[in-house]
């Protein structure tokens, strides 16, 4: 019985970690680019670049398909691959391999008739150079290169791999921050006997008559620098294919860093929304109805993973918090309730994050009990009491800065709603 419970738990976890396929389409008869990030979870430049393409670019002509989190489990584990290197599983794969379903599913995306060109994003070691210069700059290194398996293939479009790659390399080299970062074209000549490269996603693609390229950032850089070069390359592919796009940030290393650091909301168990940044490492006694959908976020790298008695919340390969639940059945009858925010009355939505400058109070709600976490009224009444930031001990905040506090509302034994107040000064 114990084993069975464990098995079901694991199954839920794996379901939650399926990869996303984001389709940004304008006209399916025009070219379609497929971008894959996260085939190896210890290469955050690649999967963050793919996620930013999904979240912050608008496509105005042509089509872009994005898989930002192919090996999601390895991303949260910060490993190259929990069951071995997924990028060696595209030639032959035993159906008993834990990665089998993921590999089969991405293969069917790659071979979709609509896909014209595939880019697989990697963060490589050092700096690739055609001739040996030193330990960090030589033909064994992968960083800062555009990879092709051979010069040309027979394909519906873009079979001139070497020409496409040369264009991309030139375009990236117009955006170098430092001469050492110079991009190079690398032809692995896989068909001439590179048995390792023959097992990769890109080689699978070209054998199915799809133009395919590996794009390597360098592990020498901080993540935002890697992302900067990945995006420079992806923009070059889009320009080559006539895909018109816009983005809402500046393509500079600083601009990319600001995008990565933007806090994204995540809704948990359909009841409350957390800003996915600056959370305390552990949040305790969080009311959760496990019959609800565990999480929802517009960001493809955010996920919630069950772990024995808790849930781990991740943004890419950063763990944002561990949430220790207190399980409740829920009541869904309360949608709004009254508060006074800095003296002004207003209706607050269940699940809302309310900004407060000085003080707030919650109006009494007939039939419900209000609990402001951190505040204890001698008579157990927590409505109609004006609370400042000072009235709430900092250790009860959900964030490390001591600004965000929970208001929980119960009906009898059932958990009805949560809202957060954030002190903004
Ligand atoms: Zn890689």
Residues in contact with 165: Cβ distance below 8 Å, sequence separation at least 6, in sequence order: 146, 147, 148, 185, 213
Q: CA–CA separation, 342 vs 356, rounded Å?
A: 7
What secondary structure does DSSP assign to 220-277, as a single string?
TS-HHHHHHHHHHHHHHHHHHTT--EEESS--SHHHHHHHHHS--EEEETTTEEEESS
194-247: pLDDT as tens digits = 999 999 999 999 999 999 999 999 999 999 999 999 999 999 999 999 999 999
Residues in contact with 421: Cβ distance below 8 Å, sequence separation at least 6, in sequence order: 353, 354, 355, 356, 360, 404, 405, 407
In angstroms, what is the span from residue 52 Cα to ligand 1's centroid? 18
Q: Nearest CA to 365 among 391, 335, 338?
A: 338
Q: Nearest CA to 49 among 260, 314, 298?
A: 260
Strands of 74-200 (E only): list them: 117-124, 127-128, 137-138, 145-148, 184-187
Q: For the whole model, what pTM was predicted?
A: 0.91
Report, in angstroms and rounded to the nearest whole number, the Rg of the chain calculated over CA atoms.
25
Residue 9 three-state SS: helix
In angstroms, what is the span from residue 124 Cα to ligand 1's centroid? 6
In angstroms, what is the span from residue 215 Cα to ligand 1's centroid? 9
Query: So what's the pLDDT on residue 99?
Result: 96
In angstroms, what is the span from residue 43 Cα to ligand 1's centroid? 6
Element (H, E) at 347: strand 344-349
Claim to verify: residue 121 and residue 252 sit in the same structural domain: yes
In angstroms, what is the span from residue 213 Cα to ligand 1's centroid? 12
C-alpha 79 chain-centroid distance: 16
In angstroms, what is the span from residue 322 Cα to ligand 1's centroid? 28
Q: Can you say whether residue 209 is alpha, beta or left, with left for phi > 0 and alpha for psi between -120 and 50 degrees?
A: left
Claim to verify: residue 16 and residue 114 sit in the same structural domain: yes
What secondary structure does DSSP assign to 25-39, as a single string?
ES-TTS-EEEEE--S
In angstroms, what is the span from residue 269 Cα to ligand 1's centroid? 34
In angstroms, what is the span from residue 142 Cα to ligand 1's centroid? 9
Claim to verify: residue 277 and residue 226 sit in the same structural domain: no
Q: What are phi and psi of 223, to 5 degrees?
A: -55, -45
Query: So what's the pLDDT on residue 378?
Result: 81
74-83: pLDDT as tens digits = 999 999 998 9
In angstroms, what is the span from residue 192 Cα to ligand 1's centroid? 21
With cut-offs at 50, 70 and 90, classify the pLDDT of residue 14.
Answer: very low
In angstroms, what is the span from residue 154 Cα to ligand 1's centroid? 26
Mean pLDDT, all residues of the chain: 94
In angstroms, what is the span from residue 340 Cα to ligand 1's centroid? 53
In angstroms, what is the span from residue 48 Cα to ligand 1's centroid? 13
In angstroms, what is the span from residue 9 Cα to ligand 1's centroid? 30
With cut-offs at 50, 70 and 90, classify the pLDDT of residue 275.
Answer: confident
Task: Give first-to-last CA distance, the chain, whole Å.
Answer: 52
Claim to verify: residue 164 and residue 305 sit in the same structural domain: no
Query: So what's the pLDDT on residue 276?
Result: 83
Claim to verify: residue 255 and residue 278 sit in the same structural domain: no
Judge whether 139 and 55 are in contact, CB under 8 Å: no
CATH of the domain at 240: 3.40.630.10
Highest mean pLDDT among 2-11, 111-120, 262-271: 111-120
In angstroms, what is the span from residue 37 Cα to ligand 1's centroid? 9
Query: So what's the pLDDT on residue 8?
Result: 40
In angstroms, what is the span from residue 123 Cα to ligand 1's centroid? 6
Judge whether 323 and 281 are in contact, CB under 8 Å: no
With cut-offs at 50, 70 and 90, classify the pLDDT of residue 377.
Answer: confident
Going 90 to 94 to 96 to 101, the CA torsion angle's sign is: positive
> The domain containing residue 411 runs over which residues?
336-423
In angstroms, what is the span from residue 109 Cα to ligand 1's centroid? 19
Residue 87 three-state SS: helix
Please compute the mean of the pLDDT values over residues 392-405 and round it to a whole number.
96
Instruction: Give the single-character DSSP code of 74.
Output: H
Q: CA–CA separation, 26 vs 24, rounded Å?
A: 7
Element (H, E) at 109: helix 100-110
Give the number of domains in the chain. Answer: 3
Please compute the mean of the pLDDT values over residues 276-305 and round it to a whole number.
94
Using N-to-C axis directions, what is the helix angle for 253-261 and 223-240, rounded to 10°?
110
In angstroms, what is the span from residue 86 Cα to ligand 1's centroid? 10
Residues in contact with 31: Cβ distance below 8 Å, sequence separation at least 6, in sequence order: 62, 63, 116, 117, 157, 241, 242, 243
In angstroms, what is the span from residue 197 Cα to ligand 1's centroid? 12
Chosen domain end from 301, 327, 353: 327
In angstroms, what is the span from residue 83 Cα to ligand 1's centroid? 15
Q: CA–CA separation, 143 vs 221, rounded Å?
A: 10
With cut-offs at 50, 70 and 90, classify the pLDDT of residue 16.
Answer: low
Claim to verify: residue 27 and residue 136 sit in the same structural domain: yes
In angstroms, what is the span from residue 303 Cα to ligand 1's centroid? 22
Judge whether 153 and 211 are in contact, CB under 8 Å: yes
In angstroms, what is the span from residue 325 Cα to ligand 1's centroid? 36
Query: So what's the pLDDT on residue 376?
Result: 87
Claim to verify: residue 247 and residue 293 sit in the same structural domain: no
Instruction: Give the single-character DSSP code of 395.
Output: G
In angstroms, what is the span from residue 143 Cα to ligand 1's centroid? 10
Claim to verify: residue 415 and residue 371 sit in the same structural domain: yes
Claim to verify: residue 199 and residue 170 sit in the same structural domain: yes
Claim to verify: residue 106 and residue 181 sit in the same structural domain: yes
Please compute the mean of the pLDDT values over residues 360-381 and round it to a whole number.
92
pLDDT surpasses 70 at 249 = yes
Chosen domain end from 205, 227, 261: 261
In angstroms, what is the span from residue 122 Cα to ligand 1's centroid? 4
Query: So what's the pLDDT on residue 17?
Result: 84
Judge whether 154 and 208 are in contact, CB under 8 Å: no
Claim to verify: residue 213 and residue 149 sit in the same structural domain: yes
Chosen domain end from 235, 261, 287: 261
Claim to verify: residue 227 and residue 345 sit in the same structural domain: no
In angstroms, what is the span from residue 110 Cα to ligand 1's centroid? 18
Side-chain half-sphere of 268: how many Cα atoms within 13 Å? 28
């Amino acid at each position: 019985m114990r084993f069975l419970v464990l098995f079901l738990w694991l199954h839920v976890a794996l379901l939650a970690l399926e990869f996303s396929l984001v389709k940004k389409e304008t006209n399916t008869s025009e070219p379609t680019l497929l971008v894959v990030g996260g085939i190896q979870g210890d290469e955050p430049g690649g999967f963050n670049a793919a996620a930013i393409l999904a979240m912050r670019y608008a496509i105005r002509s042509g089509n872009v398909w994005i898989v930002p989190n192919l090996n999601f489990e390895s991303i949260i584990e910060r490993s190259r691959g929990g069951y071995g290197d997924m990028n060696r599983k595209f030639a032959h794969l035993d159906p008993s391999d834990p990665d089998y379903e993921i590999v089969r599913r991405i293969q069917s995306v790659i071979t979709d008739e609509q896909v014209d060109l595939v880019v697989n994003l990697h963060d490589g070691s050092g700096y690739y150079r055609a001739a040996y210069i030193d330990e960090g700059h030589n033909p064994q290194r992968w960083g800062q290169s555009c990879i092709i398996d051979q010069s040309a293939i027979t394909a519906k479009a873009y079979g001139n791999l070497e020409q496409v790659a040369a264009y991309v390399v030139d375009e990236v080299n117009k955006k170098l921050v430092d001469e050492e970062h110079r991009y190079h074209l690398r032809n692995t000549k896989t068909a001439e006997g590179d048995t390792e490269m023959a097992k990769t996603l890109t080689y699978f693609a070209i054998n199915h008559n799809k133009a395919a390229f590996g794009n390597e950032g360098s592990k020498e850089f901080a993540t935002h620098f890697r992302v900067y070069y990945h995006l420079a390359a992806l923009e070059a592919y889009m320009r080559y294919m006539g895909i018109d796009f816009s983005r809402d940030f500046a393509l500079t290393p600083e601009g990319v860093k600001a995008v990565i650091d933007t806090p994204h909301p995540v809704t948990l168990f359909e009841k409350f929304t957390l800003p996915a940044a600056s959370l305390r490492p552990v949040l305790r006694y969080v009311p959760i109805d496990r019959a609800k959908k565990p999480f929802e976020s517009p960001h493809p790298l955010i996920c919630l993973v069950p772990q024995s008695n808790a849930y781990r919340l991740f943004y890419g390969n950063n763990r944002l918090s561990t949430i220790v639940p207190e399980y409740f059945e829920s009541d869904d009858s309360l949608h709004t309730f009254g508060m006074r925010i800095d003296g002004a009355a207003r209706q607050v939505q269940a699940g809302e994050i309310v900004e407060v400058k000085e003080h707030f109070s919650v109006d009494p709600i007939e039939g419900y009990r209000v609990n402001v976490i951190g505040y204890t009224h001698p008579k157990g009444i927590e409505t109609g009491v004006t609370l400042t930031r000072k009235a709430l001990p900092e250790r009860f905040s959900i964030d490390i800065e001591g600004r965000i506090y929970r208001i929980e509302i119960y009906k009898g034994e059932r958990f009805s709603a949560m809202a957060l107040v954030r002190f903004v000064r």
